Every structure is written in C-alpha cells, then in structure tokens.
Amino acid sequence: MATEQAAENYTVEDLVALNPYNPDILNDLEKFVNEQVSSQTYNLDANLSLLRLYQFEPERLSEQIVARILIKALMAMPGPDFSLCLFLIPEHVIDLKTASHADNIIPQMKEQFKTLIVLSHYLETARFSQFWDEASKNRNILEVVPGFEQAIQAYAIHVLSLTYQKVPRPVLAEAINIEGLSLDKFLEYHAANAGWVIEKGGQSQVIVLPRNEVNHPELKKNTADTVPFEHITRIFPVLS
C-alpha cells in the first residue's frame, strides 16, 4: 500500500526516468499522451518509451494513441521526431500490404497511418500545397489534436525563412494555407510581433523576413573569429 502511494507521487517523467521499460507504466503513458493533446504540450521521451513498451506488449497497443503520437511528432518538425517514432511502431501496424484481420487492427486505422506517412513526406520535401490538400481530406484524423494547423504553419514559415529574404505573398499564402482577410491579419500580427516587413511588389505584396545566417550568409561568423587567441597560441609550439 505504501509503495502504491509512493508511486502516485511520481510524475510520468519520473517514472520514465526510473524505469522506461516497466510495463506497469504503460497505462500512465497512454493517459499522458491524451494529456499532451488536451493541454497542447509535448514530451517526446515519454512517447518513445510508450512505443518501446508496445513492442514488448503488442496486444496492448492502442492504434488511437499511436496515431496521436505521430501527429504530435509531425507538429515538432523540423525535428526528426516523426521518423524516431515511426521506427518503433511494429511493421504490421503501418504496412497495409501485410495487414490482415488477424492482426486485430481496424483497416481504417491502417489507412490512417499511411496518410500520416504521406503527410510527413510532403512536409520533409516542402511540398506544402500537396500537404494542405491531403490534410483537408483527412480532417477527421488531424483535428483531434489541437494546434496542428498552427504548428505546421510555423514549420512552413521556418522553411521559407531558410530560402527567401523576400517572399511573395502568393508563395506564403500557399505554404501556410491562408488567404484573403485572414492572411492580412496574419501579416499584421507578424509585422508587429516577429519583425516582418510588408512591401509593395508590383501587383502583389512582398514580405521581408527577418535576417538569419541562411538567408543572409554574410551574417555567418567566420570560424577564425570564434577561436580564442589563447587557443591559437597553443598551436604554434606544436607546429614548430
């Protein structure tokens, strides 16, 4: 009894840190995934621990929980989270070709994982137009996780900032899937809070994005400038 009461005092993070392979924490980890969804928080380590436990306890695998983990991982791009999670999911769960009713996996769930993999590919290759088209066809899968659209828009802006110094309004609109008055408000917000500058460019607007070391290579520090002088002086005796 005392042991149970002590265990209740641990957070999920504590349980994962103490023994990530303990099957007794599987239910706690599943609840924690749902908590991440409802509170719009994220814990990759806990989710990876749950997927590892599913490998040892395949009969306890929840397709709904796995799908939510993958959606949250997509929202973490450009991090490698989606690939890390996908690697730990049993092949029979995501491989439509090897699926059978004997797997006790609902066929629609199989299709769900296939959709998430396709969406991941579109994001990794910056094919945002195709991504939003596919996402619109699968709202029932994605809308269960609040904040998904906003997270992908942030990722799209990140990609654009690595490519453009000035991005045409139509290119931005396609990447973040916002148009018209909604895009006007979006631009106004980022101009006020994120350092964007809106310029007139011919018949359309051009958005000047904040400078970084990728879209403005001249900002990159010279390696020699970052090496302390005392480190250089230590090299001279070795060279002589």
Residue 3 confidence class, pLDDT cut points 50, 70, 90: very low
The answer to whether residue 222 scores a pLDDT higher than 70 is no
Residue 141 clears pLDDT 80, i.e. is over it:
yes
DSSP string over the chain: -HHHHHHHTS-HHHHHHH-TT-GGGHHHHHHHHHHHHHHT---HHHHHHHHHHHHH-GGG--HHHHHHHHHHHHTTTTSSHHHHHHHHS-HHHH-STT--GGGT--HHHHHHHHHHHHHHHHHHTT-HHHHHHHHHHTHHHHTTSTTHHHHHHHHHHHHHHHH-SEEEHHHHHHHHT--HHHHHHHHHHHHHHS--EEEEETTEEEEEPPP-TTTSGGGSPPGGGGS-HHHHHHHHHHH-
Task: Report the chain's mean pLDDT, rounded to a whole number.
Answer: 84
The whole-number pLDDT of residue 233 equals 53
Q: Would you state the pLDDT for residue 99?
A: 43
54-103 pLDDT per residue, tens: 999 999 999 999 999 999 999 999 999 999 999 999 877 766 444 444 44
Q: Provide the pLDDT for residue 100.
A: 42
What is the pLDDT, as a whole number, of residue 95?
A: 62
Question: Tens digit of pLDDT for each residue in 185-197?
Answer: 999 999 999 999 9
Most confident of 8-17, 65-74, 106-115, 227-236: 65-74
| Fold topology of 164-239 | Arc Repressor Mutant, subunit A (1.10.10)
Report domain extents, the chain. 6-146, 164-239
Q: What's the pLDDT score for residue 225?
A: 56
Q: What is the mean pLDDT of residues 5-9?
A: 54
Res 200: pLDDT? 85
> Under CATH, which number does the domain 6-146 receive?
1.25.40.250
Band of the pLDDT at 212, cuts 50, 70, 90? confident
pLDDT (0 to 100) of residue 208: 94
